[in-house]
Amino acid sequence: MESVNPFTGKVATHFKEMTRDQVESAIDFSHRAHCDWRRRAFAERAEPMRKAAGLLRERAPEYANLMAVEMGKPIGDGIAEARKCAVGCDFYAENAERFLAAQPVDLEGREARVVFAPVGVVLAVMPWNFPFWQVIRFAAPALMAGNAAVLKHAANVPGCALALERLFRDAGFPEHLFRTLLIGSDMVGEVIERPHIRAVSLTGSAAAGRAVAAKAGHCLKKTVLELGGSDAYVVLADADIAFTAAQCARARLVNAGQSCIAAKRFIVIASVLAEFEKQLVVEMSKARMGDPLDENTTMGPMARHDLRDALHLQVRKSIDMGARCLTGGTIPAGEGAFYPPTVLSGVRKGMPAYDEEMFGPVAAVIGARDQNEAFRLANDSAFGLGGAVFTRDLMRGERIARDEIEAGLVFVNAPVESNPKLPFGGIKESGYGRELSSFGIQEFVNIKTVVVAPHAAARSPVAALSE
C-alpha cells in the first residue's frame, strides 16, 4: 500500500497491507476496548477527546504537511482542516452527554425512559479528499457515544490513517479503541461480516455506497452513507453578481474542486447570465496553482493523475456535445496532477457536465428562463447533497432554500460548508443518515426503551398469559 505525491509523482509513503489474521485480531481488540469504554462516564470520555483537540492544534503543521504530500492539499488548507478537527472534538466533548441524555416518557404511573446505549465497534470507510476531517467527524461522536472505531481509509493516504490512530492513542484513549486497518477495498466486505462490527459509516461514491449498503444489509447492520454530490447554485436575477461570482468561484475551487459539497452546477437566470459568466471567469482565474507546500499556493494538484485524466475526459465529452469552454479545459504541461480552473457554458442535459459529478475545478453554467425553470434544473439531478441560492431578498432566499431545493443542506448567499453544529448528509444518490450535530451522534446508538412498573401495579403471571 503506497501513496504517490501528486505534485512530484514520487512515492510518498509505503506500508505493508495487513493480513486477515491481523485484521481479525485488531477488531477483536477493539471490541474488548469497547466493553470497558462503554461503561465510562461522559466526563471520562471527554478528557481524552479534549486532549485530542489540543494535539490537533499543536500538530496542525505536521498534519498539513502529510496531507500536502499524500493528496496535494495546500499547506494553509491543511492547517485549517486540522484546526477544524479540533473544533469538532471539543464540540462533542462538550455536548455528547446532553445529546444522549435519557428522555422521560409519561406512562401514567410507570417510569419510562428512552436511553441511548453504544452499539459496539463501528467501521468507517473514508475517502482521501479531507483525510483528517472526514474521519474526525465520524470518530468524535462515535467514541463519545461509547463505541469503538476501526478505520479503513483511502489507499492513497495511509500516512494520514496511521497518524489518526496515533493521535487517539497519544490523547489517552484506551489502546485499540480506535484502530486503522491498512487494507484494500476488496477486504471491506469481509470486515463488515465480522460479528463484532455492528455498523458502518461510509463517505465515498454512489457505487461504493451501493456495495457497502448491500453487504451491510445482508448482514443486517446499520449504515450511514455520505455519497457524491452535484451541488446546484441558483443565481436569481436580483443577485449581486460580483459578490455572487466570487462566492461561487470559491465554492467551486475548494480543495481543487474535490469536495462532495463543492459547488458544481451554476444555474443562472437568463437576464444576468452573460454578466455572471464574465465575472466567474475572472474569479476562477485568480487561483494560484503550484506546490502545495508553498504558502502562496491557493490550489494544489488533484489527488491522483487518473482522477485528473477522468475529469478531463468529462470536460472534452461535454465540449464535443456543444458546451463552450470559457477558460481552462486543457491539461497543463509539466509534472503534477494539475487541472486548471475551468468554466463550461451552455451545459445541457445529456452532457457529463450536467449529468455526472465533476470532482475537480470545473464549473458547469446552465441558463434558465425564469426561477421556476431554475428550480427544476437544480433538482434535475440524481444527487441531493447541497445547494445554494443567491438573491438580495433574504426572505425569498430562505423560502426557496426551504421549499424548492431538494438537498440535505441549502445555504443562502454563501457556499455550502460543514459545521459540527449542523447536521450533514444528503438525499437521493447522495446517501442517507446524518453526520455531525446531535443527529450525528444518535446514528450509532441503540435507542432503548426502559419501563419500570411499581411492584403494586405489576400484573400477575396468570393475567399476563391471558392476554
Tens digit of each residue's pLDDT (9 = 90 or more) over 301-351: 999 999 999 999 999 999 999 999 999 999 999 999 999 999 999 999 999
Residue 459: its pLDDT value, please? 56
For the chain, the first-to-last Cα distance in angstroms comes to 61
Q: Do domains 2-227+430-451 and 231-412 have the same CATH topology?
A: no
If we measure between CA atoms, which residue out of 200, 204, 194, 349 comes closest to residue 267?
A: 349
Count Cβ atoms below 10 Å from residue 368 Cβ, excluding itself.
20
Residue 109: its pLDDT value, please? 83
Kindly name the residue from 226, 277, 357, 429 that is annotated as catalytic: 226
Sort 396 into a burial class: Cβ within 10 Å, 0-12 / 13-18 / 19+.
Answer: middle
The CATH number of 231-412 is 3.40.309.10
| Mean of all residue pLDDT scores within the chain | 96
Q: How far is CA 175 from the centre of its chain?
A: 27
Q: Read off the pLDDT of residues 66-81 as tens digits, 9 standing for 90 and up.
A: 999 999 999 999 999 9
Residue 2: its pLDDT value, please? 84
Which amino acid, residue 137? R
Residue 464: its pLDDT value, please? 47
The predicted model gives 406-413 an average pLDDT of: 98
User: In DSSP terms, which residues pair with 363 in a beta bridge?
Assistant: 343
Task: Give this prediction's pTM.
Answer: 0.95
Are the C-beta atoms of residues 364 and 354 closer than 8 Å to each other? yes
Are the C-beta atoms of residues 374 and 238 closer than 8 Å to each other? no
Residue 409: its pLDDT value, please? 98
Question: Is-catalytic flag, 325?
Answer: no
Angle (deg, nearest 10), helices 158-170 and 133-144:
30
Beta strands in 236-301 (DSSP E): 263-269
Q: What angle do CA 270, 274, 276 make, to 5 degrees?
A: 95
Distance CA 82, CA 97 (A): 24
The CATH number of 2-227+430-451 is 3.40.605.10
- Residue 466 predicted with pLDDT over 50: no
Question: Is-catalytic flag, 165?
Answer: no
pLDDT band, very low/low/confident/very high, at 465 (cuts 50, 70, 90): very low
Are the C-beta atoms of residues 134 and 203 closer than 8 Å to each other? yes
Q: Which long-range contacts (CB under 8 A, 24 or more apart) does 287-293 make?
A: 287/253, 287/341, 287/361, 289/332, 289/338, 289/340, 291/7, 292/7, 292/68, 292/69, 292/72, 292/73, 292/74, 292/75, 292/78, 293/7, 293/65, 293/68, 293/69, 293/75
Kindly name the residue from 81, 89, 260, 406 that is annotated as catalytic: 260
The predicted model gives 259-288 an average pLDDT of: 98
Q: Where are the domains of the chain?
A: 2-227+430-451, 231-412
